[in-house]
């Protein structure tokens, strides 16, 4: 595709509103994490989720190699955290208050829900890999005001409309 087609495709893809998550893991005891909007639920029984990691992402090798990771669904007051975990080349965990799970995965506070997952499938897909995770534990967090990403802007959920 030429650059014009790429940009048109990127804009068209951005018209699908999503939530925003931070996915964390540990590689040789070192915390890794990145912001993702590609998260989705797949199967209820057994509980499975998916998300995709770009081959360009600094964390690509890490997330393709780890078994355990935690998906944090972000709240609308966590934009700074989302931007931090989308910034390449910085120490994303510097001065950040976090705990460790039983598998040594960093747990960031303030998320709406946390899913503790283990990878069961890893499918190459173009310039990304699709990672399917089995949900091993769910932690319900606080509030009901998720962070939304739409047309490259952060938003919050609007009024419910009658169906």
Ligand X SMILES: Cc1cc2nc3c(=O)[nH]c(=O)nc-3n(C[C@H](O)[C@H](O)[C@H](O)COP(=O)(O)O)c2cc1C
Q: Which residues, including other chains, have CB under 8 Å from residue 80's CB and lie 6 or more apart?
A: none
Taking CB under 6 A as the rule, which mask of x and - marks residues 91-130 in contact with ligand X? Answer: ----------------------------------------
Binding to ligand X by residue 23, rule CB under 6 A?
A: no
d(CA 50, CA 62): 16
Binding to ligand X by residue 15, rule CB under 6 A?
A: no
Nearer to ligand X, 52 or 78 (CB): 52
Binding to ligand X by residue 69, rule CB under 6 A?
A: no
Candidate residues 19, 58, 110, 141; the one interacting with ligand X per rule CB under 6 A: 58
Candidate residues 27, 48, 50, 57; the one interacting with ligand X per rule CB under 6 A: 57
* Interface segment toward ligand X; rule CB under 6 A; list 47-55, 68-76, 91-99, 100-108: 47-55
Q: Which of 160, 159, 141, 147 is nearest to 17 (CA)?
A: 147
**Whole-number CA gyration radius for the chain:** 16
Q: Which of 20, 50, 23, 18 is nearest to 34 (CA)?
A: 23
Q: Which of 79, 84, 75, 80 is nearest to 24 (CA)?
A: 84
Binding to ligand X by residue 135, rule CB under 6 A?
A: no
Candidate residues 34, 71, 112, 148; the one interacting with ligand X per rule CB under 6 A: 34
Total number of residues that touch ligand X (CB under 6 A): 17
Tell me whether residue 22 is exposed, middle or buried, using C-beta atoms within 10 angstroms of its C-beta: 0 to 12, 13 to 18, 19 or more: buried
Residues in touch with ligand X (CB under 6 A):
20, 34-38, 51-54, 56-58, 82, 86, 88, 149
């Amino acid at each position: 595709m030429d650059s014009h087609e790429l940009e048109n495709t990127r804009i068209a893809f951005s018209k699908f509103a999503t939530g925003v998550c931070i996915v964390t893991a540990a590689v040789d005891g070192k915390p890794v994490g990145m912001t993702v909007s590609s998260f989705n639920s797949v199967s209820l029984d057994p509980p499975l989720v998916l998300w995709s990691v770009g081959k360009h992402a600094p964390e690509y090798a890490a997330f393709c190699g780890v078994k355990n990771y935690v998906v944090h669904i972000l709240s609308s007051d966590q934009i700074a955290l989302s931007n931090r975990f989308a910034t390449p080349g910085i120490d994303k965990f510097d001065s950040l208050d976090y705990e460790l799970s039983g598998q040594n995965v960093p747990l960031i506070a303030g998320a709406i829900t946390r899913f503790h997952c283990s990878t069961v499938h890893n499918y190459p897909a173009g310039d990304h890999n699709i990672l399917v995770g089995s949900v091993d534990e769910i932690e319900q967090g606080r509030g009901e005001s998720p962070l939304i990403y739409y047309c490259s802007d952060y938003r919050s959920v609007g009024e419910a409309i009658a169906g």
